[in-house]
Amino acid sequence: MFDVIIIGGGAAGFFTAIHIAENAPHLKVAILEKGKSVLSKVKVSGGGRCNVTHAVFNPSDLVLNYPRGEKELLGPFHTFCTGDTMAFFEERGIALKIEEDGRVFPVSDSSQTIIDCFVKEADKLGVRVLKHSAVSNVEYINQKKPELGWNITSIKKEYKAKKVVFTTGSSPKIWKLLEKFGHTIVPPVPSLFTFNIDDVRLKNIPGVTTMARVSVFEKKIVNTKITVKLNSKISKKPLLESEGPLLVTHWGMSGPAILKLSAWGATLLNKKEYKFTIQVNWLPDMVIGSVFNFLQEVKESEPKKTVLRTKVLNLPRRLWTSLVRASGIDGNIKWAETTKIQLQALASQLTECEFSVNGKSTFKEEFVTAGGIDLKEINFKTYESKIVPNLYFAGEVINVDAITGGFNFQNAWTGGFIVAQAISKG
């Protein structure tokens, strides 16, 4: 008989177990992990470096990075936030560093440092870690008196516990099991993915990175016949919009600008079966009319120079070359020889550049899912089920997900800490 059984040996599971065992040493705590190893997602996180959190220390700012969970996480982040996470690791001898983009890593640049910390802490505090223990069923000992505890059936044996914590991440099998207790599961869809784009303009420029604004519209908004209205603005509001570094890849596009879109648009883009049109403004501070005016000025001031070799805007050279060629301007055309139509076409390529997206690819090894237990069914002061007593959740098993950068781990740490507080006091 255990006081607490945590189902799932990942980030949220270990963080919960360690804090329960630390706060209430008299409680018998066990982690059931279905695999042969624990903390597998921690291992691959951040390219094997483990991006433990992000240097956003104000809860009101931190919640803005969660497409699902923004409102619900504000209170929890006031209880346990980024600074608390950093203190947890540093108190255990793990030096951390904040990189330029705000991501926080161990100084060792190795996820094994974090894994070793968790395993060592759990062992020191007497937490039982039971691997190869996939859970097939969970039920009340007495359905009329759920406070009496739980029977948990694994492939190895049956266990009893007074309280159960699910930290199983995105597990359809576990979600199905939880539905029988009356919980609503928001259908899972992928988040954090890159865009597959087969386009001649991108073929020869993989590796190019630049700031850009990317928009998703209901329908295509650029005509095949290019016209430019001076100071024009797109009349229709985009369904989704993101700005930040964009990376051209061998299969299409990635980088923070794309990953933000994939997170905020997880449900919408899933409904579109990942076939949609995006518009990229490679000059996010400018609009098509002002760019067209600028190109006309260049035509007058640099008449004898060739367009292709005269990169007059702050863009990577390979990108400039690709967009110039896509505008129908070949390598020998001088600025003085350009037509109005060609300059209009170039202005359009620079600020309203359309691409057809046909599919998605997983972002590195980090697979994040939107969906899970409906947030309305969870008490965010304790992370306990509102439907069933003594049933708790932490991490991605609930319908919370974030953009890339350590935010998903922060959700796991915060949820695990609050569950531990509630159970330790109870």
Q: Provide the strand spans (E) within 303-364.
A: 353-358, 360-362
Extract the tokens encoding 209.
């990175």
pLDDT band at 147 (very low <50, low <70, confident <90, very high): confident
113 CB burial (10 A radius; 0-12, 13-18, 19+)? buried
Q: Is the pLDDT of residue 235 over 50?
A: no
Only one residue has tokens 């983009």, namely: 101
pTM of the model: 0.89
pLDDT of residue 219: 59
296 CB burial (10 A radius; 0-12, 13-18, 19+)? middle
pLDDT of residue 366: 58
As a three-state string, the secondary structure of 172-231 is HHHHHHHHCCCCCEEEEEEECEEEECCCHHHHCCCCCEEEEEEEECCCCCCCCCCCCCCC
d(C-alpha 24, C-alpha 20), whole Å: 6
Which one-letter DSSP state was computed for residue 69?
Answer: T
Query: What 3-state class would DSSP assign to 37?
Result: coil
What's the whole-number mean pLDDT along residues 27-35?
97
Extract the tokens encoding 324.
């110039």
Q: Is the pLDDT of residue 417 over 70?
A: yes
What's the whole-number mean pLDDT along residues 210-224?
76
- Alpha carbon distances (Å) from 92 to 106, 120, 121, 253: 12, 10, 9, 39
Give 342 or 224, the one with higher predicted confidence: 342
Give yes or no for a contact between 230 and 286, defined as CB atoms under 8 angstroms apart: no
Query: What 3-state class would DSSP assign to 72?
Result: helix
Query: What 3-state class would DSSP assign to 41?
Result: helix
pLDDT band at 363 (very low <50, low <70, confident <90, very high): confident
pLDDT band at 420 (very low <50, low <70, confident <90, very high): very high
Query: What 3-state class would DSSP assign to 333?
Result: coil
As a three-state string, the secondary structure of 352-420 is CEEEEEECEEECCCCCEEEEEECHHHEECCCCEECCCCCEEECCCCECCECCCCCHHHHHHHHHHHHHH
d(C-alpha 269, C-alpha 88), whole Å: 37
User: Strand pairing partners for 53?
Assistant: 104
The DSSP string of 268-296 is HHHHTTTEEEEEEESSTT--HHHHHHHHH
d(C-alpha 243, C-alpha 262), whole Å: 13
Tell me the pLDDT tens digit for each residue of 397-415.
999 999 989 999 999 999 9
Give yes or no for a contact between 395 and 169, defined as CB atoms under 8 angstroms apart: yes
Q: Is the pLDDT of residue 225 over 60?
A: no
d(C-alpha 127, C-alpha 90), whole Å: 21
pLDDT band at 222 (very low <50, low <70, confident <90, very high): very low
d(C-alpha 307, C-alpha 297), whole Å: 13
Query: What 3-state class would DSSP assign to 309?
Result: coil
Question: How many residues are given for the chain?
Answer: 426
Give 220 or 73, the one with higher predicted confidence: 73
Query: CB-based contacts of 100: which residues, under 8 Å, 6+ apart?
Result: none
What's the whole-number mean pLDDT along residues 145-157?
89
Give 148 or 55, the one with higher predicted confidence: 55
Tell me the pLDDT tens digit for each residue of 38-75.
999 999 998 899 999 999 999 999 999 999 999 999 99
Q: What is the mean pLDDT of the chain?
A: 93
pLDDT of residue 364: 65
Neighbours of 357 (CB within 10 A): 23
Phi, psi of 18 (to 5 degrees): -60, -45
Q: Is the pLDDT of residue 231 over 90?
A: no
Which one-letter DSSP state was computed for residue 34?
Answer: S
Tell me the pLDDT tens digit for each residue of 260-315.
999 999 999 999 999 999 999 999 999 999 999 999 999 999 999 999 999 999 99
pLDDT of residue 368: 84
∠ CA 55-60-64, nearest 5°, is 75
Neighbouring C-alpha atoms within 13 Å toward the C-beta of 26: 4
397 CB burial (10 A radius; 0-12, 13-18, 19+)? buried
